Amino acid sequence: MPEGDAVYRTAKRLRQALDGRRLTRSDFRVPRYATADLRGRTVLTTLSRGKHLLTRVEGGLTVHTHLRMEGSWRLGPAGRPAPRGDVVRLILANIQWQAVGTRLGMVDLVPTDREERVVGHLGPDLLGPDWDPALAVRNLLRAPQRSIGEALLDQRDLAGIGTIWRAETLYAARMSPWRPVGSIPPDELEALVAVAHRLMDASKDAPLPVTTGDPRPGRSLLVYGRARRPCRRCGGPISGGEMGPQPAERLIYWCPACQRD
């Protein structure tokens, strides 16, 4: 699933193609909004909120989309045929550019002044202007019995972290993903969310997540996807597995030697 930095980059690309331009095509291919027509309205902006996208248009309306596991927004010249074989959910176009939303997990059309209906449940956005680390820590502590690895994926606590940034953050902080949140001193939680923010912010304008300083394939990440390979710190083998309740287990990678409970 695309994480907060990838969604941030998607919002940036959509702004470059759509902002300030009048829509000449609006094609909602979801039953609930099949008759919705935004043609003639000017796109004001597109914002990211965690893993959600909010495209605001003239007249007080917002198009809310979520990529989920397989979704994407593809940009190209106006009039280009939609990609074959893809499940197109939404097309927004102007006289120059066309944005095609394929396999989108969520598509909603809501009044702009009621965007909280679709994103109000989210915790503070790691890449948002309203990033509030103190609130993120308080949110994490609401369920002290949870493991920190599970808590970091709860978008109600802080928005934007997925399996990649969870693994990279915990490794950089030398913290075991299995450690109960309630056993972590507040200053360590504050340091942890600061690490998450620093790592994601540093990668938000890069093509792919980079935490090692080396963007080459296979060398860009500290721990994610490196099961059975040597730890970059101690040389011991990296562990890989799944964590979380069934059937929603998610991949986790960690160094048992460096990330102790």
Residues with a known catalytic role: 2-3, 51, 250
Query: For residue 157, what pLDDT is reported?
Result: 98
Would 12 be classed as within a structural domain? yes
- 184, 80: one domain: no
In this structure, the strands spanning 61-66 and 239-243 are: unpaired
pLDDT of residue 61: 99
| Mean per-residue pLDDT, 83-109 | 93
Domain enclosing residue 167, as ranges: 133-254
- Residue 61 and residue 172 share a domain: no
Of 89, 119, 149, the last residue of a domain is 119
Q: Do 139 and 230 share a domain, yes or no?
A: yes
Residues 153 and 58 in one domain: no
Contact assessment for residue 200 and residue 5, using Cβ atoms and an 8 Å cutoff: yes
Same domain, 75 and 157: no
Whichever domain contains 140, its CATH number is: 1.10.8.50
- Which stretches of the chain are DSSP H helices? 4-18, 116-119, 133-140, 148-151, 163-172, 186-203
Rounded-to-integer distance, Cα 132 and Cα 130, Å = 6
Q: What pLDDT score does 25 carry?
A: 97
Q: Are residues 86 and 145 in the same domain?
A: no
* 261 occurs within a structural domain: no
Looking at residue 130, its amino acid is: D
CB neighbour class for 162 (10 Å; exposed up to 12, middle 13-18, buried from 19): buried
Are both 202 and 230 inside the same structural domain? yes
Structural domain includes residue 16: yes
Same domain, 64 and 154: no
Site of tokens 């449940």: 121
Choosing from 119, 151, 172, the residue where a domain stops is 119
Comparing CA positions, the residue from 115, 97, 85 lying closest to residue 23 is: 97
- Point out the domain boundary residue: 119, 145, 180: 119
User: Are residues 242 and 163 located together in one domain of the fold?
Assistant: yes
Q: Domains in the chain: how many in total?
A: 2
In a domain, 125, yes or no: no
In this structure, the answer to whether residues 137 and 250 fall within a common structural domain is: yes
What's the CATH number where 108 sits? 3.20.190.10
Taking each helix axis from N to C end, the angle separating 133-140 and 186-203, rounded to the nearest 10 degrees, works out to 120
pLDDT digits (tens, 9 = 90+) for 195-245: 999 999 999 999 999 999 999 988 999 999 999 999 999 999 999 999 987
Residue 126 lies in a domain: no
pLDDT at 80 over 90: no
Query: Quick check: 168 and 221 in contact, CB under 8 A?
Result: yes
Q: Is the pLDDT of residue 17 over 90?
A: yes
Task: Examine the domain organization and report whether 8 and 113 are in the same domain.
Answer: yes
Region 175-201: what's the mean pLDDT?
A: 97
Does any domain span residue 47? yes
Q: Are residues 115 and 150 in the same domain?
A: no
Q: Is residue 143 part of a domain?
A: yes
Residue 261's pLDDT is: 78
